Amino acid sequence: MRRFPRRYAMTVVLAGYALLACTAQAAEIAVQQITQGPLHHFYGYIGHVGNTPWDGTGQFMVVLRTHFQDRMPEANESADLVLLDAHDGWRAERLDETRAWNFQQGSMLYWDPEAPDRRFFFNDRDPATNGIFCVLYDIKERKRIREYRFDESPIGNSGVSQRGGFFLALNYGRLARLRPVTGYPGAWDWTAGEVHPEKDGIWKVDVATGGRDLLISYRKLAEALRPRRPDIDAYPLFINHTLCNREATSIFAFMRGGWEGDPRPNRIDVPFTINLETKELKFLPAHIGGHPEWAPGNLLVGSVDGRQVLFDPLAGAVAGTIGTPESIPRPGGDVALSPDGKWLINGRHSAAKSCYSVVGLETGEWFATPCLDIGTYKEGELRIDPAPCWNRDGSAFASPGLAPDGTRQTFVFQIDRR
């Protein structure tokens, strides 16, 4: 194991969080490449809002396996769904395949919070229609136990409730057209030609019944933003990063437009929340980074004015600061809170590497970890994001990187706090 010194962060006390100075200690970190080439293995998404590649027992991880990494997949090109067994030298077993995947978000793999020791979600595509749908897979039965298909208006999973029972869903055909890095190439966009569709937006799908509800439409989002952006009709809208909070009472997302091709200088990039009970829409007064995270107490972890912050979306104001410029030199990177909400990972690019800081929200202690190589995959649709994902007891996290042979693989950082 490599030993890295712990340091301390600025003291801030707000909403039950205290970032306190502490005596310097040490953390031992063992980094292990758990998948091997010549094929590529990656989870494909950030471990925010409770998302993790580990099952409920901690024995298994689910990842994607692909034959290439130097181009986006075509509609008929599948990725394998692979189960890794930590108790058997990370032995890889192919479970199924999917035709709905990309390199930034994978196939939106999420373990089911109601059965995390056996069931997970992923997206797939109908090869005849190119319609996207969500699948619920059972690793005990080794089969798909449900498919959530909506043939006239197909949608896929975009974020599972942290308490289970429902998942949020988007039209990935629209994303493939307007934000290819988060879409599935060739997916059927049933809203093509509509700037602000009235019958599409963010959907809520009931896991047990398969029923769905349109939480908010693109039309309503556009009308709500029109006073601030009277030019909104010039921008076909899309939505990214639908994140359920820990209490299952609110969601966060981005409303975006003008990102296709060469992004317009005045493009739309507006964060907002929706109350799941009342469907009340609230625009945030500040942009808080590209990949925020929900903290306990209905607060958001984000970045404002070069600081990693806790942001209160109801008050529309910063509620506290996390870390310092030394501990978190780039607050706008990928962030993930440990399951108990006590430790934050900030992942960021530095030259041709992904680097990580781990900061204690209660103690203020922090340490940097070794960095992972990413080579030339820093920008665009093929990039390797830092994408840290905690395990379920907060003793380790997984991230993607380039192995010495140049393949894209999964690495695990085991943390022994002293």
DSSP string across 277-316: TT--EEE-SS---SS-EEETTTEEEEEETTEEEEEETTTT
CATH topology of domain 49-291: Neuraminidase (2.120.10)
Going by C-beta distance under 8 Å and a sequence separation of 6 or more, which residues neighbour residue 366?
A: 6, 7, 8, 9, 323, 327, 357, 358, 359, 360
Q: What's the token pair of residue 359?
A: 């900061």
Q: What's the token pair of residue 142?
A: 């080794």
Residues 157, 63, 331: CA angle, nearest 5 degrees: 75
Q: What's the token pair of residue 393?
A: 């007891």
Q: Is the link from the previous residue into 197 a cis peptide, with omega within 30 of 0?
A: no
pLDDT of 182 higher than 70:
yes
Provide mean pLDDT across the span 51-79: 97
Q: Picking from 7-16, 110-119, 380-389, which range would have the lowest pLDDT averaged per residue?
A: 7-16
pLDDT of 13 higher than 70:
no
Q: What digits encode the pLDDT tens for the residues 206-241? A: 999 999 999 999 999 999 999 999 999 999 999 999
What is the pLDDT confidence band of residue 2, given thresholds at 50, 70 and 90?
very low
* % of the chain residues with pLDDT over 90: 88
Q: Are strands 119-125 and 110-111 parallel, antiparallel or unpaired?
A: antiparallel
Q: Which of 383, 391, 385, 353 is nearest to 370 (CA)?
A: 353
Q: What digits encode the pLDDT tens for the residues 296-325? A: 999 999 999 999 999 999 999 999 999 999
| CB-based contact 213:204 (threshold 8 Å) | yes
Q: What share of the chain is helix, strand, coil (3-state, %, to 5)?
A: 5, 45, 50
Q: What digits encode the pLDDT tens for the residues 121-134? A: 999 999 999 999 99
What is the pLDDT confidence band of residue 7, given thresholds at 50, 70 and 90?
very low
More confident residue, 260 or 329: 329
Per-residue pLDDT at 363: 86
Q: Name the residue ranges covered by the structural domains of the chain.
A: 49-291
Q: Picking from 5-9, 199-203, 246-250, which range would have the lowest pLDDT averaged per residue?
A: 5-9
Per-residue pLDDT at 262: 60
Give the length of the chain: 418
Per-residue pLDDT at 195: 96
Provide mean pLDDT across the span 166-188: 96
Per-residue pLDDT at 261: 64
Q: What's the count of helices (H) and strands (E) in the chain, helices before strands?
A: 2, 32
Sheet holding 40-42, edge to edge: 40-42, 60-66, 79-85, 91-98
What is the pLDDT confidence band of residue 18, given thresholds at 50, 70 and 90?
very low
Q: What digits encode the pLDDT tens for the residues 22-48? A: 333 457 899 999 999 999 999 999 999
Per-residue pLDDT at 418: 61
Calpha distance 238→381 (Å, rounded): 17
* % of the chain residues with pLDDT over 70: 92
pLDDT of 52 higher than 90:
yes
Per-residue pLDDT at 70: 96
DSSP per residue over 157-185, as a string? EEEE-TTSSEEEEE-HHHHHHH-GGGS-T
What is the pLDDT confidence band of residue 159, given thresholds at 50, 70 and 90?
very high
Per-residue pLDDT at 17: 33
What is the pLDDT confidence band of residue 19, given thresholds at 50, 70 and 90?
very low
pLDDT of 16 higher than 90:
no
| CB-based contact 281:288 (threshold 8 Å) | no
Per-residue pLDDT at 198: 97
- Give the 3-state secondary structure of residue 180: helix
Provide mean pLDDT across the span 364-392: 95
pLDDT of 352 higher than 90:
yes
